[in-house]
């Protein structure tokens, strides 16, 4: 491959209307071959998009236990035509306008908290796409100092991980009398989101705030458990998303609309940007379809050199969270072990990155001189909003551009493949285009490889195991309380011994060897947590009154001694 020669021969796509440019001179060996020799893949990909946009059931595989058997609608939510009833760009714009109309009185202080004061803070409570998308959107507009430099009428906060230390840090700096928690969960049963909501509800009540509704907003599907809880407790609002909208592609729904309304981001422009890119990437002519060019180039490289990591270098601090957003979009979508026909097929697309030039100092040495396990994608804006004089380069903006072009040149010399995508400027319209481009690439690659990009059985497996851990923990702890509330004074042993003694219920008295081995690991973790945190308020309040616990390592096993106080 000769990127310099390719550049001179026009290995580009450019859209005059939006000033978007894709430079693939560093990624493709033969432009003619790329554009004309993959008709079967192209037809397969475009057919998949047509099926999605017609509302056909595409979220399915022949592996029934992993199949969700439903349509996928994120493209329809910003499509000019209403191919599926009730779903189109105009309908989404109307719903967004409704949300803005209802949020604005909160921001202006026309709708006030129960104590008569203006609402001051809003917390967005979600996990996965329900967090990564909104957070990326806010950062893209205001940068990391969105609460200090944006001048927004309410301060914005995010909570996703069930980390009690960070949650405590957040709660301590807020006046909960004037705080709103926005919980985002399609099912209403997402463990992390539900747990944070339950904790927030209890904290409100502990502070004497019995009516939680004026401090809550929900984003969920109609009649979900969260929607019912919202109506029962008279939340400020419960905004609806569709069952067919997957979490990692939900930013074009109420999941993005509500945070954008609080952050005063022009979400209408974001949706229009997505719609424009969707239209661009429906084109049947490969040379006029940037998502198809990128997808085919990745596929060619994969067939030639096997799977390669994708490194995304974003040359704007405002795109700091974009690679994190893309990690879920790509890895949850393409990381599968079955094709749609139920045949074992291990696929994936590892992606990592960050802000150039910062992350270049983290891993560019290996990319340039170490193992050849990746390709690089550059993402930058052509037009900047400000600049500063720099003696060595003339201006700070030109210095940043110099790092883009200089790194491209270094990759060329070291035979590392790369793309460069350049958008006109950083605004909601172009960020919408950026997101839509990546969503389409994911759809195309999934179609090429005949996998279902819209389920996530691996994530679900972890959720189910967590649910089992929580249930087992309650059984063991309740049995410990009962044991030491009677005449028993001590118990000593490894986790397996504790499991066999304290995991029994009236319904289950015997365990298989597999259950004993697997669940003993869970019990070991529980006992270790009990040892470390028994004195922490609200962790183990009942047991704290009853027992002391000591953990020691003996013969490569932890031995726990519990003694009655």
CA quadruple 405, 406, 412, 418: dihedral positive or negative? negative
> Residue 470 has what pLDDT?
92
Cα–Cα dist 164/170, whole Å: 10
Q: Determine the Cα–Cα distance for residues 159 and 183; give it in Å rounded to an integer.
A: 10
Please state, as a whole number, how many other Cβ atoms lie within 10 Å of the Cβ of residue 97. 14
Mean pLDDT of 447-471: 89
The proportion of the chain whose per-residue pLDDT surpasses 70, expressed as a percent, equals 100
pLDDT tens track for 340-399: 999 999 999 999 999 988 888 888 899 999 999 999 999 999 999 999 999 989 999 999
Of 131, 161, 132, give the one whose Cα is nearest residue 321: 132
- The pTM assigned to this predicted structure is 0.92
Catalytic residue status for 343: no
pLDDT at 364 (0 to 100):
87
Cα separation, 406 vs 254, whole angstroms:
41
Are residues 81 and 88 in contact, defined by beta-carbon separation less than 8 angstroms? yes
Candidates 68, 192, 332, 408; catalytic one? 332
Is 173 in a helix, a strand, or coil?
coil
Q: Write the CA distances from 98 to 82, 110, 183, 227, 422, integer angstroms.
A: 19, 17, 19, 18, 33
Q: How far apart are CA 270 and CA 238, in angstroms?
A: 22
Return d(Cα 537, Cα 451) in angstroms, integer: 47
Confidence check: pLDDT of 246 > 80 = yes
For residue 463, the model assigns a pLDDT of 81
**Is pLDDT above 90 for 67?**
no
Which residue of the set 51, 463, 496, 504 is catalytic? 463
pLDDT tens sequence across 174-226: 999 999 999 999 988 888 999 999 999 999 999 999 999 999 999 999 999 99
DSSP state of 503: S
Handedness of CA 248, 251, 255, 260 (dihedral sign): positive
- Please pick, among 304, 361, 514, 565, the residue that the annotation labels catalytic: 361
The per-residue pLDDT for range 311-345, each reduced to its tens digit, is 999 999 999 999 999 999 999 999 999 999 999 99
Total length of the chain: 565
Q: What is the DSSP track for 19-38?
A: TEEEE-TTT-S-HHHHHHS-
DSSP state of 310: E
DSSP string, 234-297: T-SEEEE--TTS-GGGGGGTHHHHHHHHHTT--HHHHHHHHHHHHHHTT-SSGGG-HHHHHHHH
Q: Using the CB atoms, write b or e for 181-192: b if 16+ within 10 Å.
A: bbbbbbebebeb
Instruction: Note if 361 is an active site residue.
Output: yes
* 194 is annotated as an active-site residue: no
How many Å apart are CA 348 and CA 346, to the nearest integer? 7
- Supply angle C-alpha 280, 285, 291, rounded to 5: 45
pLDDT of residue 493: 95
């Amino acid at each position: 491959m000769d990127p310099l020669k390719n550049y001179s021969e026009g290995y580009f796509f450019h859209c005059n209307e939006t000033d978007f440019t894709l430079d693939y001179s560093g990624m493709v060996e033969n432009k003619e071959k790329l554009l004309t020799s993959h008709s079967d893949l192209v037809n397969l990909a475009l057919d998949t998009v047509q099926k999605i946009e017609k509302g056909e059931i595409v979220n399915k595989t022949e592996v029934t236990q992993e199949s969700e058997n439903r349509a996928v609608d994120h493209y329809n939510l910003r499509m000019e035509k209403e191919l599926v009833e009730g779903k189109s760009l105009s309908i989404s714009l109307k719903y967004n306008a409704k949300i803005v109309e209802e949020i604005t009185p909160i921001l202006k202080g026309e709708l006030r908290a129960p104590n008569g004061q203006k609402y001051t803070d809003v917390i967005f409570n979600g996990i996965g796409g329900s967090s990564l998308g909104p957070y990326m959107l806010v950062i893209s507009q205001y940068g990391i100092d969105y609460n200090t430099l944006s001048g927004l009428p309410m301060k914005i906060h995010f909570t996703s991980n069930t980390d009690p230390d960070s949650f405590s840090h957040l709660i301590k700096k807020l006046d909960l009398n004037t705080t709103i928690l926005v919980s985002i969960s399609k099912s209403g049963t997402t463990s992390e989101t539900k747990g944070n909501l339950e904790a927030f509800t209890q904290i409100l009540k502990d502070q004497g705030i019995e009516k939680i509704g004026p401090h809550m907003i929900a984003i969920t599907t109609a009649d979900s458990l969260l929607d019912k809880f919202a109506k029962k407790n008279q939340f400020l609002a419960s905004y609806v998303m569709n069952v067919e909208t997957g979490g990692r592609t939900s930013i074009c729904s109420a999941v993005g609309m509500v945070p954008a309304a609080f952050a005063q981001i022009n979400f209408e422009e974001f949706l229009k940007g997505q719609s424009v890119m969707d239209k661009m990437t429906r084109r049947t002519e490969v040379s006029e379809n940037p998502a198809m060019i990128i997808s085919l180039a990745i596929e060619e490289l994969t067939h030639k050199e096997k799977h390669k990591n994708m490194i995304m270098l974003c040359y704007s601090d405002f795109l700091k969270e974009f690679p994190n957003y893309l990690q879920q979009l790509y890895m949850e979508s393409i990381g599968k072990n079955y094709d749609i026909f139920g045949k074992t097929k291990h696929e994936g697309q590892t992606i990592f990155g960050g802000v150039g030039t910062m992350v270049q100092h983290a891993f560019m040495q290996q990319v340039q001189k170490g193992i050849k396990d990746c390709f690089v994608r550059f993402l930058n804006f052509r037009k900047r909003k400000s600049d500063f004089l720099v003696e060595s380069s003339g201006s700070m903006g030109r210095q940043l551009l110099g790092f883009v072009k200089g790194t491209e040149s270094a990759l060329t010399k070291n035979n590392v493949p790369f793309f460069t995508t350049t958008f006109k400027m950083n605004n909601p319209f172009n960020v919408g285009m950026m997101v839509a481009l990546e969503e389409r690439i994911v759809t195309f690659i999934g179609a090429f490889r005949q996998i279902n990009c819209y389920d996530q059985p691996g994530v679900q497996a972890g959720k189910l195991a967590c649910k089992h851990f929580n249930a087992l923990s309650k059984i063991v702890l309740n049995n410990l309380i009962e044991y030491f509330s009677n005449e028993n004074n001590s118990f000593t042993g490894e986790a397996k011994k504790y499991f066999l003694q304290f995991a029994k219920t009236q319904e289950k008295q015997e365990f298989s060897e597999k259950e004993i081995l697997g669940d003993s690991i869970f019990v070991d973790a529980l006992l270790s947590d009990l040892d470390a945190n028994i004195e922490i308020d609200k962790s183990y309040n009942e047991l704290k009154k009853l027992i002391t616990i000591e953990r020691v390592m003996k013969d490569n096993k932890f031995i726990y001694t519990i003694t009655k106080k």
